[in-house]
Amino acid sequence: MAMNTSAERETDDGTVADTRCRNCDGFVTPQFARVFGNNRNEVYGCFECMTATEIKKGSANHPEAAERARQDLRR
């Protein structure tokens, strides 16, 4: 049996807390996912791969908006 050193944790009610950035796989807090993610608490950007300004504008809750925000950054 392999040692489970994964950061993936199960919550008390048995559902896996999926609080990772869909873009860079960076860890985000459940609160972050709830506030800035879509209605399934999925985020497509985080403080690792997107600016706080874009996140607060709501760009993290949509893959295309997140992609556009990152392209703006690269210019």
Calculated CA dihedral for residues 19, 25, 49, 12, nearest 10 degrees: 10
**CB of 44 closer than 8 Å to CB of 26:** no
**Residue from 17, 27, 34, 48 binding Zn ion (CB under 5 A):** 48
Give 12 or 40: the residue with its C-beta nearer to Zn ion.
40
**Residue from 19, 32, 33, 46 binding Zn ion (CB under 5 A):** 46
Number of CB atoms found within 10 A of residue 61's CB:
20
Q: Using the rule CB under 5 A, give the single segment among 3-11, 30-38, 43-51, 66-74 that binds Zn ion.
A: 43-51
Q: Using the rule CB under 5 A, give the single segment among 1-9, 12-20, 30-38, 40-48 that binds Zn ion.
A: 40-48
Tell me the one-letter amino acid at 67.
E
